[in-house]
């Protein structure tokens, strides 16, 4: 097994590859299909067909999978690449500074890719480091997954995540903040609609609304005008309602949902990134050194978190898989553990897998580009031994990882 992450030149031609005799899960159906071939040409899926069809002459590399499972590369919709899952990651960044933190972010991105995560959405980084990492990867300077990064978060003065926030008070300041991030290369805009669990020992309450409806509406409107989507950190009924009515695209965490909010989310197509595992992890983390203030706040949220998730799932809200990887005791990667949590709380395995592939791509506004194994899509491919539709743990049995038609692990 080759686990070397390879640096590639984005301008170099991709090798054509025929994956032969795969157990194929395409990211759409509820079952995997045996004895399937997948042809990759010029970085894209060119054909999907039953094994035994016409061969491809010339320079095509043949990878005989002998029944191994081929599925779309995974998508983690909520990560922080500058953090590495220590008990108190803010203190680590404070101690290491910008340059070492940038190196850490690159290493974490590459660890994600080795695990089969070919796209991450990074929703918060000091110094806009995740935006720089995204650019470096897309230009071929370093290897890594596709990174959709917000950089700094739009917050109110004294709001959630001050360490990477742009304090904005009033619609005009929010407009300026959003434009600053767009100018800086953000691929998504992050806003803080409420307080949170980790970040500030005093002056921040879980469930307290922060940015106002008017401020959130300006953020969503301006981001959408430039073709970007908006993710809202939201753990509180009022703040979630304001964010949904304002037109954000995804609600991050979504604790303390109400039936009225869920109905509005379904009507508008607003997706939920529940990050199920992180608050359980923090609530149980006092012995691991997680700050006591965060542990106590997380304990207040765990029960309501599960109830909110179950309410959203039963209503048919689009749910996507995000881990908060990098946060307190949440390493890179954490996606398989998050998928287990989704399944533990009642989500069927195929739906959980779609939450990390096709449903996630749709929430990014990229369903036409990646997230499924279909002709014309980017060749983001994960090959594992076993069948994740029967055992999610089989996602850990990585044989090959391909992103945009280039191998980074295997074959």
Confidence category of residue 8, pLDDT binned at 50, 70, 90: low
- Residue 15 has a pLDDT of 83
pLDDT, tens digit, 9 for 90 and up, residues 361-399 = 999 999 999 999 999 999 999 999 999 999 999 999 999
- Residue 283 has a pLDDT of 96
Average pLDDT, the chain: 95
Percentage above 90 pLDDT, the chain:
91
pLDDT, tens digit, 9 for 90 and up, residues 268-282 = 999 999 999 999 999
Rounded average pLDDT over 18-29: 97
CA 71, CA 388: separation in Å to the nearest integer? 9
pTM of the model: 0.96
SS3 361: helix
- Residue 203 has a pLDDT of 82
**Per-residue pLDDT for 219 more than 90?**
yes
pLDDT, tens digit, 9 for 90 and up, residues 346-358 = 999 999 999 999 9
**Per-residue pLDDT for 41 more than 70?**
yes
Determine whether domain 74-363 maps to CATH 3.30.70.20. Answer: no
Strand segments, DSSP code E, in 107-249 are 117-122, 146-149, 153-155, 165-167, 188-192, 229-234
Kindly give the interhelix angle for 129-138 and 89-114, rounded to the nearest 10 degrees: 20
pLDDT, tens digit, 9 for 90 and up, residues 143-177 = 999 999 999 999 999 999 999 999 999 999 999 99
- Residue 2 has a pLDDT of 45
- Tell me what percent of the chain is helix, strand and coil, each rounded to the nearest 5: 35, 25, 40
Domain ranges of the chain: 17-72+372-409, 74-363
- Residue 116 has a pLDDT of 99
Rounded average pLDDT over 192-215: 93
- CATH class as words, domain 17-72+372-409: mainly beta
**Per-residue pLDDT for 9 more than 60?**
no
* Residues facing residue 38 across a β-bridge: 19, 48
pLDDT, tens digit, 9 for 90 and up, residues 291-303 = 999 999 999 999 9
């Amino acid at each position: 097994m080759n686990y070397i992450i390879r640096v590639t030149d984005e301008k170099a031609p991709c090798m054509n590859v025929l994956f032969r005799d795969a157990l194929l899960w395409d990211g759409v159906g509820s079952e995997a299909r045996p004895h399937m071939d997948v042809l990759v040409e010029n970085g894209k899926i060119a054909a999907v067909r039953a094994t035994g069809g016409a061969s491809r002459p010339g320079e095509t590399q043949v990878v005989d999978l002998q029944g191994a499972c081929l599925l779309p590369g995974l998508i983690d919709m909520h990560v922080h690449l500058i953090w590495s899952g220590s008990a108190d990651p803010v203190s680590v960044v404070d101690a290491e500074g910008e340059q070492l933190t940038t190196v850490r972010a690159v290493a974490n991105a590459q660890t994600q890719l080795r695990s089969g995560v070919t796209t991450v959405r990074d929703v918060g980084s000091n110094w806009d480091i995740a935006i720089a990492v995204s650019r470096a990867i897309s230009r071929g300077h370093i290897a890594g997954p596709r990174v959709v990064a917000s950089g700094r978060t739009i917050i109110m003065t004294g709001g959630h995540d001050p360490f990477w926030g742009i304090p904005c008070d009033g619609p005009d300041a929010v407009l300026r903040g959003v434009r600053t991030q767009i100018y800086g290369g953000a691929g998504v805009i992050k806003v803080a609609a409420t307080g949170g669990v980790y970040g500030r020992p005093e002056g921040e309450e879980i469930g307290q609304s922060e940015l106002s409806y008017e401020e959130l509406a300006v953020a969503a409107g301006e981001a959408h005008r430039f073709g970007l989507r908006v993710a809202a950190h939201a753990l509180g009924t009022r703040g979630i309602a304001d964010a949904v009515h304002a037109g954000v695209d995804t609600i991050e965490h979504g604790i303390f949902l109400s039936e009225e909010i869920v109905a509005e989310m379904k009507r508008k197509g607003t997706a939920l990134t529940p990050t199920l595992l992180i608050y359980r992890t923090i609530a149980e983390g006092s012995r691991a050194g997680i700050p006591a203030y965060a542990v106590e706040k997380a304990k207040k949220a765990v029960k309501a978190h599960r109830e909110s998730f179950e309410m959203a799932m039963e209503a048919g809200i689009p749910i996507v898989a995000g881990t908060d990887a990098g946060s307190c005791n949440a390493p890179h990667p954490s996606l398989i553990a998050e998928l287990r949590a989704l399944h533990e709380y009642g989500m069927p395995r195929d739906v959980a897998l779609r939450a990390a592939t096709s449903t996630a791509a749709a929430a990014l506004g990229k369903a036409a580009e990646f997230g499924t194994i279909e002709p014309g899509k980017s060749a983001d491919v994960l090959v594992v031994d076993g069948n994740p539709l029967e055992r999610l743990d089989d996602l850990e049995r990585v044989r090959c990882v391909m992103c945009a038609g280039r191998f980074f692990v295997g074959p």
